[in-house]
């Protein structure tokens, strides 16, 4: 390691450790029972979202949409959920997705969760195939031989 880099790391490390300690003191982890209840609410909302998305059917590519799903502790969504806006109450669906994101974001803050900071790009090419919206650029699912 270069001497300059070593000196920089030596100077920055104590400040980083102090900042982490102050963050934890200001945001203590939540009790296990509260975490379990919040996690159950998050899972229930996710099940509702998946059910609604799974029930959506398309008849044309223009019906397909993608919504960011979840909230990484580092920021941004975990992924995108592809669905058809045709035959679904889009306002209600999007409200459930926003609520899920807010619940997960709050849970992340209270539990001091960490994640990678990888940027997840939204899908660009959506299409209607056999009445279901798909991402044309997604890798094909693995199938048993």
Residue 99 lies in a domain: yes
Residue 13 lies in a domain: no
Task: Print pLDDT tens along the chain (145 aa).
Answer: 444 444 433 444 444 444 444 444 455 556 788 888 889 999 999 999 999 888 889 999 999 999 999 999 999 999 999 999 987 898 999 999 999 999 999 999 988 999 999 999 999 999 999 999 999 998 655 444 4
3-class state of residue 66 by DSSP: strand
Residue 127 lies in a domain: yes
Residue 79 lies in a domain: yes
The reported pTM is: 0.69
Residue 5 lies in a domain: no
Look up the domain containing 89 and give its range: 30-135
Residue 87 lies in a domain: yes
| In 19-143, beta strands by DSSP E | 64-69, 79-84, 126-129, 132-135
Residue 25 lies in a domain: no
Count of domains in the chain? 1
CB 81 within 8 A of CB 69: yes
Residue 50 lies in a domain: yes
Reported as a single tens digit per residue, the pLDDT across 26-44 is 555 567 888 888 899 999 9
């Amino acid at each position: 390691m270069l001497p300059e880099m070593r000196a920089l790391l030596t100077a920055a490390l104590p400040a980083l450790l102090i900042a982490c300690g102050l963050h934890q003191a200001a945001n203590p982890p939540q009790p296990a029972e509260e975490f379990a209840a919040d996690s159950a609410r998050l899972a229930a909302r996710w099940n509702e979202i998946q059910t609604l998305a799974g029930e959506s059917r398309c008849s044309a590519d223009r019906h397909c949409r993608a919504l960011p799903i979840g909230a990484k502790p580092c920021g941004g969504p975990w992924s995108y959920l592809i669905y058809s806006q045709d035959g679904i109450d889009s306002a209600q669906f999007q409200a459930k997705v926003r609520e899920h994101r807010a619940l997960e974001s709050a849970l992340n803050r209270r539990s001091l969760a960490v994640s990678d900071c990888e940027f997840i790009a939204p899908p660009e090419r959506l299409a209607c195939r056999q009445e279901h919206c798909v991402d044309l650029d997604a890798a094909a699912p693995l199938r048993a031989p």
